[in-house]
Every structure is written in structure tokens, then in C-alpha cells.
Structure 1
Amino acid sequence: MKIIVVEDYREMSKKAADIVASQVILKNDSVLGLATGSTPEGMYSRLVEMHREGTLDFSSIQSFNLDEYLGLDPEHSQSYHHYMHHHLFNHINTDPNNVHIPWGQASDMAAYCRNYDQQIAAAGGIDLQVLGIGGNGHIGFNEPDEFLSAGTHVVDLTEETVEANSRFFASRDEVPKKAVTMGMGSIMKAKKILLLASGKGKAQAIKDTVSGNVSTRVPASFLQLHGDVTLILDEEAAALLP
């Protein structure tokens, strides 16, 4: 596990964008695993800039997003479909057929989740998976629990996660209580993993991820078992590391 500590969010975003850009340049048909939330917004903004500068060509890139709220209309301003198009896909030359975001309105979610994992496998697996981390150590929407699911699945969101996400909605009552997410097995199959964390609210989760025991109570701790993980942290997120 490689840990890179930078001064602030801006530097974290730039460094992350450089790593993703390198993947795209070195393998122009890469399969990217993408995350949402406030943490990667700066990274996406920089990738858009690089594309506009003529540095990056996304035309042959495939992408698979980590998660989506269950039951939320894709056109809703807080859906992850909307987020990804607003922050990235509307501004680059990606092929819409190569964009995969979990569909939270499938009539048979169990079958849909199996098919999502099959699509990833058919694409050759994820070359680079981008992750954020929740304050409770969740990645994707794999919440702390007694057990963790390996494949893509539907999950009940914890009160902590609902509360954290309520800032994006008009009221807490509007926050979906369920989501569809890649499982830990799906994430761990990625060839390379890049985790981003910014702010003092992530410091304990990062400490538990890096130096704690591997536990389902800290899903991100499973990254200790992966052979190629890079963490990019700002100074606040890294504050509790030795």
C-alpha cells in the first residue's frame, strides 16, 4: 500500500487526475471504476481540463461506477447518473455505450446485480478503481457490518451515511435509505486501486484502514490485502497516521 500525503484538496485532486490520466494514456482502452461524492469532484474537473487541452482521449475508455441510490430517478439532481454526467461525461468524448452506472430502478435487482458483475468481467475487469471513503470506513456503499457481500448488491444505508449525505438533499427525509453498490469482491478484483481522502473527518477512517486490523467493521481495511493500492491524502486526512 502506497501512501501519498499532499498539502490540501487541490493538490490531492491534481495528483489523482495525473494517475488516472497516466492509466488512460498508457492503455487507451482501459476500464475505469469510478466513484462519486464531493471528494473526486476536483479530480474530475482536472481530467476535463486535460481533455480540453488535448491531452486525454476517452473515446475507447469503458467505465463502471461503484454505486447508485435505490429507486432514485436518474434525472434527479442527486442521483449518481446526474452527478457523473454533470461532472465528467458531458465534457469528454466518452462513448455512451461504454458508460455503466448501476440502475437503481431495475425490476429484478438480484438479477441486475449479477449482470453488472458479468459486464465488468466481460470487459476484462477494472484496470483502475477510484474510491472515496466514508467517515465510518465504508467504500462504495459497503457499510460496516458483521458480514460483507462479495458481488454487486442492494444495501441498507447506515444512519451515519444517511446523515452524511443529507447535506445534498433538501431534507434528511429525502435521502434514500437503500443503494445498489459493487461488493468488496468486485472492488478487490480491480488491478489497481486509488483511494482519495480529504479533511479531518476522514482521519480516523484512514487510520483504521491503514493500521488497524482487517475487519468487516471497517470495510476499507480490506484494501490492506490488495497488491496495488495507492492512497492520496491531504494533511488533515493523514493527521492520525504514525
Structure 2
Amino acid sequence: MKIILTKDYDELSRTAFKEFDKIVKSEEKPRVGFATGSSPLGLYKEIVNNYSTNKGSYENVDVFNLDEYIGLPENDKNKYSAFLKNNIFNKADFSEENIDLILHNNENIEQECKRYHDILINNPLNLQILGLGANCHIGFNEPGTSFDSVTHIVDLKEETRQSNARFFDSIEEVPTQAITVGIREIMSAENIILVASGQDKADAVHKMLNDEINNTCPASILRVHKSVTVILDEAAASLL
């Protein structure tokens, strides 16, 4: 595991882009899993900037995402697919035919779990981008999730719903379930970049890097992966 400490969120985002760019350029047709949330947003802005300013191209990137809420209308602005489209995919030259976002609709969810699992296990990603939940979750793999889990339906912890409530008009609107890529599939990726920013992630970062590897902190399993880069700003690293 490589750990990179940065001064602030802007430096974190630039550093994450350099790592991302190196991996993507090493593959003829890279397969990348994208996370949502505020942590990787700066990285995505750097990718868009590279496209618009430096003519960087992403038309050959096969795109997958990490998780999605269950129960939101197809056109809801809070869907993770909408987040990714609005913040990165529609702002660069990602090809629509190469974008396969989990849970295109809210039907046949069990079948969708199997479909995504088959894709990710049979053709592992070259890169999985991750954020880190304040309770140490990765994707929506909450504390207690088996390290052998595959794409599945998850009941969201109340603390996760509370953390995400800022994006909704009220806590009542935050879904209680989601579909998430499992820990086994995350670990099958050839490379992983995890970004964590802010004081509210400091405790999770400390547990991820220092506590016993245990599913009470799902992210701790990343310590045994062959190629993980963890990028932190000063606040997130403050308890190390």
C-alpha cells in the first residue's frame, strides 16, 4: 500500500489525477470503476480539465460505477448515475457505448447484482476509484459486510443516511437501500486509488491503516491488496 500525504484538497485532487492518468495511459482500453461522493469530485474535475485544456481523451475507457440508490426515480438528480454523468462523463469524451452504470432501472435488482458480478469477476477492472465512509465503508459495504461479498443489496446504516442527507431536502427522502459492488469485486481490481479528505474522515483513516483487519472496518482489507494508493490531505491524516 502506497500512502501519499498532501497539504489540502486541491493538492489531493491533483495527485489523484496523476495516479489515475498513469494507470489509464498504461492500458489500450482501460476498465475503470468510478465512485461517487465529494471525495473524488476534485479528481473528476482534474480529468475534465485535462480533456478540455490538454486534449486528453477518454473515449476508449470502459466505465463502471460502484453503487446506486434503490428506489429513486430514473431522472432523480440524487441518483449516483446522474452525479457521474453531470460531473464527469458528459463533460469529457467518454463514449456512451462504453458506459455501463449499475442499476439502469429499479427492476430485477437481483438479476442486476448477478450481471454486474459476472462482468467484474470475469473481466477485472484495471482501476477502482474509492472514497472512504466516516464509518469505514467502501462503496456501500457497511461495517459487518463479509470480505467475500459480491454485488448485493444493502440496508443503509442510519449514520450513512444521515451523512448523505445533505444532498436531499430531508432525511426522509434518503433511500434506505442501495445496490453496491462487493468487497470481493473491489479487491479483484488490478489497482485501487482511495481518496479521503477532511477531519470527519480522520478516525476512519486511522482505523483503516492501523486497526486489525476486520470487517468492522471494511476498508481495512485494502491493506492486503497488491496495488493500493491512499491519498490523504492533512485533515484526514491528522490522527496518524
Task: Say yes or no: TM over 0.5.
Answer: yes
| CA-CA distance at 1:55 after TM superposition | 4.1
d(CA) in 2 for partners of 1:143 and 1:165?
A: 14
The equivalences for 1:19-98 within 5 A come to 19-98=19-98
SS in 2 for 1:208: helix
d(CA) in 1 for partners of 2:207 and 2:161?
A: 21
d(CA) in 2 for partners of 1:146 and 1:118?
A: 20
State which drifts further: 189-198 or 147-156.
147-156
d(CA) in 2 for partners of 1:89 and 1:146?
A: 30
RMSD: 1.4
| CA-CA distance at 1:79 after TM superposition | 0.6
> Which residue identity lines up with residue 100 of structure 1 in the other structure?
D
SS in 2 for 1:53: helix
d(CA) in 2 for partners of 1:84 and 1:174?
A: 20
Matched length: 240
Residues 104 and 57 from structure 1, CA distance in 2 versus in 1: closer, same or farther, beyond 3 angstroms?
A: closer
Alpha-carbon deviations, 1:47-103, whole Å to 9, x = none?
Answer: 001011234211111011000001112321111111001100111111112112211
d(CA) in 2 for partners of 1:74 and 1:17?
A: 30
d(CA) in 1 for partners of 2:170 and 2:201?
A: 24
Structure 2: give runs of 5+ residues left out of the alignment. Answer: none
- Do 1:28 and 1:58's aligned partners in 2 also have CA atoms closer than 8 Å? no
Alpha-carbon deviations, 1:3-46, whole Å to 9, x = none?
Answer: 10000000001111111112222224100011000111111011
1:155 aligns with 154
2:107 aligns with 107
Residues 146 and 93 from structure 1, CA distance in 2 versus in 1: closer, same or farther, beyond 3 angstroms?
A: closer
Structure 1: give runs of 5+ residues left out of the alignment. Answer: none
SS in 2 for 1:187: helix
d(CA) in 2 for partners of 1:51 and 1:224?
A: 32
Residues 204 and 163 from structure 1, CA distance in 2 versus in 1: closer, same or farther, beyond 3 angstroms?
A: same
Aligned residues with identical type, % of pairs: 38
The equivalences for 1:1-242 within 5 A come to 1-103=1-103, 105-122=105-122, 124-145=123-144, 147=146, 150-241=149-240
d(CA) in 1 for partners of 2:226 and 2:147?
A: 20
Alpha-carbon deviations, 1:138-183, whole Å to 9, x = none?
Answer: 0000000264552100000000000000000000000001000000
d(CA) in 1 for partners of 2:233 and 2:114?
A: 36
* Structure-2-length-normalised TM-score: 0.96
d(CA) in 2 for partners of 1:190 and 1:150?
A: 14
- Do 1:64 and 1:120's aligned partners in 2 also have CA atoms closer than 8 Å? no
> Which residue identity lines up with residue 108 of structure 2 in the other structure?
D
> Which residue identity lines up with residue 138 of structure 1 in the other structure?
H
d(CA) in 2 for partners of 1:149 and 1:168?
A: 31
d(CA) in 2 for partners of 1:171 and 1:196?
A: 27
SS in 2 for 1:165: helix
d(CA) in 1 for partners of 2:108 and 2:161?
A: 24
> Which residue identity lines up with residue 25 of structure 1 in the other structure?
K
